[in-house]
Structures are given as C-alpha cells and as structure tokens.
C-alpha cells in the first residue's frame, strides 16, 4: 500500500512539530501568583488582622516584590497576589508570616508560576518571551 504525498506531508509536519516542541527550552517564570481561599464570613474575621496584613504586603510592595494584590469577589472569598523577584520558597516564608494565615482567615493557599506574556510597560521585564 502506498502512502499519498499529502499523507506523507501531514505525517512529516506532525513529526517535525513534536520534535520542535520537545526540544524547546524550559522557560523560567518571572512571576508567581499566590491565591488565598478565605474562611466563610471573611469580612468579619479578617477585620482585626487587616492592618497587620496590609502592612506585611505593603513592605513587599515597597521592595518591588508585589506587582498587584487584592481580594477576589465581593464580598471577598479569597485573595490574589502577583509576586516578582522571589522564589516559591521566599513567597512561602511571607505566607507563614501573614496575619490572615496565622489567624485562620486563610483556609487554603497555592503558589503557582504565572507565565504572563502580555502586559503594560510597567511589566515589560516580567513578561515571558516565547
């Protein structure tokens, strides 16, 4: 049985694509997303700890380590913070100092690489070049 030229072309292209993708270098993330899930009734439960939480986050903003931070949903069900210049271990150390975590406002969190590719001029050095 003979393979048509078209079939050989498609098979060849797919083989090339697999090779090209498998040999692509691993891209190191420049940003990390920290997502918090809050306990129910978070507005009341976070109130006594809010100033200390904002002070901790504010110090990281001053150091240039946080690009953006804020609550998710209204009323808040969690928070999202975008970090730069820090490793996941560095972020974990900050999390362990956060009054929201220490006092049970945060019930779960995750630290995830954020592979941003498009952003404004303020983020130009943090974007992944593919």
Q: Is residue 70 part of a domain?
A: yes
Q: Is the pLDDT of residue 3 over 60?
A: no
**pLDDT band at 120, cuts 50/70/90?**
confident
For residue 44, give the CATH number of its domain.
Answer: 3.30.70.1060
Please state, in angstroms and rounded to a whole number, the distance separating the CA atoms of residues 119 and 21.
Answer: 25
- Residue 128 near residue 116 (C-beta atoms within 8 A): yes
Count of domains for the chain: 1
Q: Is residue 12 part of a domain?
A: no
Confidence (pTM): 0.77
Average of per-residue pLDDT values in the chain: 85
Q: Is residue 104 part of a domain?
A: yes
Range of the domain at 69: 31-123
For residue range 57-95, list pLDDT tens digits in order.
999 999 999 999 999 999 999 999 999 999 999 999 999
Q: Is residue 89 part of a domain?
A: yes
Q: Is residue 25 part of a domain?
A: no
Q: Is residue 93 part of a domain?
A: yes
Q: Is residue 101 part of a domain?
A: yes
């Amino acid at each position: 049985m003979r393979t048509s030229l078209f079939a050989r072309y498609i098979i060849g292209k797919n083989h090339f694509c697999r090779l090209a993708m498998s040999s692509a270098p691993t891209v190191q993330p420049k940003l990390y997303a920290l997502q918090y899930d809050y306990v129910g009734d978070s507005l009341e439960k976070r109130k006594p700890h809010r100033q200390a939480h904002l002070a901790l986050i504010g110090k990281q903003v001053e150091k240039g380590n946080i690009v953006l931070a804020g609550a998710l949903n209204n009323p808040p069900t969690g928070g999202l913070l975008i970090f730069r210049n820090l490793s996941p271990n560095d972020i974990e150390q900050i999390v362990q100092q956060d009054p929201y975590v220490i006092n049970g406002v945060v019930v779960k969190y995750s630290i995830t690489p954020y592979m941003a590719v498009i952003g404004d001029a303020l983020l130009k050095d943090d974007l992944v070049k593919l």
